Amino acid sequence: MLRRIFNYSVFQQMQPINSASATQLITGIAVPQPDDSVLSRDPRFGALFMNDSAGTQATGGKAGDQNAKAVQAFLLLHRSKANKEALMTAGVEVLNGQFVKSLRLTEPMEPARSLSAYGLDSLSAVEVRNWIRRELAAELTTLDITNASSLYGLCERVIAKMPIVE
C-alpha cells in the first residue's frame, strides 16, 4: 500500500490530474470504497473505486443501491402526489437509510425515537442537510434537522419543503 501511495505521489507531480491538488496527498482511506460513498463524486478519489485486476468498479454494499432505489421511489411518489401516508412511509425509509449511512449505524433507526438518541450532532446534520438538498431538492437548515423530534417529524419537514412539480 505504501508503494502505491509513493507511486501515485510521483505520478501526480509529473502529470497532475488537477493542478490545484498536485501537492496534496491523502492516505488512510479504506480501499475499495463503497459505490455510494460521497468520495465517488470527486475525481481525485477515482482510484478508490477501481479493482486492481480489471480496473472496473468494485462491488460496494447493496445498501447504497437499495437507498438509491428508495430515493427514486420516494421522488416518484412525490411527483405523482401520492397520499400522505404512502409518502411519509417512503420518506422515512429514505431518511432512515441516509442516517444509517451517515451515522454508521448497525441497524435502522426507530422512526418515532429522538434523532439525538442515535448520536446526531451538528456535523452529521450538515452532511444530511447537504444530502437532502442534493437528492431531494429540499432546503432545510441544520436546526430543522437537529430540532426534529423524530424521523417522522423530519420527514414532514422535508416533504413540506420539497418543490412541487407539476
pLDDT single digits (tens) 141-163: 999 999 888 999 999 999 999 88
Task: Report the CATH fold assignment for 62-161.
Answer: 1.10.1200
Give percent helix, percent strand, percent coil of the chain, each to the nearest 5. Answer: 60, 0, 40
> Residue ranges per domain, the chain?
2-49, 62-161
pTM for this prediction: 0.60
pLDDT single digits (tens) 90-127: 999 999 999 988 888 888 999 999 888 888 888 888 99
